[in-house]
Chains A and B, each alone.
Chain A
Amino acid sequence: GEDVEQSLFLSVREGDSSVINCTYTDSSSTYLYWYKQEPGAGLQLLTYIFSNMDMKQDQRLTVLLNKKDKHLSLRIADTQTGDSAIYFCAANYGGSQGNLIFGKGTKLSVKP
């Protein structure tokens, strides 16, 4: 069945760039998303990319999509301690509006 996989942990120093990677299996996924979850909070959409795009930049965030390899990455420039959170990759599937499969999440730790 459909699946989304991502590495579980990433640790960086404040000011460095963070790169979180994700792979997905459903080639029909139209949109791919990055959500952020802080402790005790719900998920917050960070950014998304349409499947016919290779790259999307939004301030400190850069999303790269390799559709051939079904690989998605999120780069956070100048990572701050406030960026510490769990980041979820998600892909829509099955052609249904808004049904998302989520990865297990990557816990980003930013050290001062």
Chain B
Amino acid sequence: EAGVAQSPRYKIIEKRQSVAFWCNPISGHATLYWYQQILGQGPKLLIQFQNNGVVDDSQLPKDRFSAERLKGVDSTLKIQPAKLEDSAVYLCASRPAGIGGAITAGELFFGEGSRLTVL
């Protein structure tokens, strides 16, 4: 079974430029997450999708970050314009839907991440 695919693996841009990251979750996984992991810290949730709808984007800096999941499969995360503090690894994760929306112990499957450096 193929894992969560992310691209690009590395990206270096200057501040105020824009960047986009792509994620292809595991086939059949209804729920998709974007996490931001700043060096030395744990991942922080940016946005959660259930199929193609947004479930939680409360921690997404909406003035510069946007994300979409058209057709409920692939997702893109965009940053425009980038700031120095956006330097981080952007992790995509997916999991299958729980039965009836119940909380399950279902594992989140993470991609290898996209490392962004903003100069």
A interface residues (Cβ-Cβ under 8 A, vs B): 4, 30-31, 40-45, 48, 50, 88, 90, 92, 95-105
Docked-complex contact A88 and B42, CB < 8 angstroms:
yes
Residue of B nearest to A105 (CB): B42
Q: How many A-B residue pairs have CB under 8 A?
A: 65
Q: Which of B12-20, B72-80, B96-104 contacts A (4 or more CB under 8 A)?
A: B96-104
9 sampled A-B residue pairs with Cβ under 8 A? A4-B42, A31-B103, A43-B93, A43-B110, A92-B103, A97-B103, A99-B45, A101-B45, A105-B41
Docked-complex contact B111 and A99, CB < 8 angstroms:
no
B113 interfacial by beta-carbon distance below 8 Å: yes
Residue of A42, A90, A101, A103 with highest tally of chain B CB at under 10 A:
A42
Docked-complex contact B56 and A42, CB < 8 angstroms:
no
In the bound assembly, the distance between CA atoms of A104 and B102 in angstroms comes to 28
B interface residues (Cβ-Cβ under 8 A, vs A): 4, 31, 33, 40-45, 48, 55-56, 91, 93, 95, 97-98, 101-108, 110-113
| CB-contact partner of B112 in A4, A31, A41, under 8 A | A41
Docked-complex contact A97 and B104, CB < 8 angstroms:
yes
Docked-complex contact A100 and B45, CB < 8 angstroms:
yes
Docked-complex contact B106 and A98, CB < 8 angstroms:
yes
Docked-complex contact B41 and A30, CB < 8 angstroms:
no
Given A92-B103, A98-B33, A98-B95: A42 touches B113 (CB 8 Å cut-off): yes
Q: How far is the CB of B116 from chain A (nearest CB, A)?
A: 15
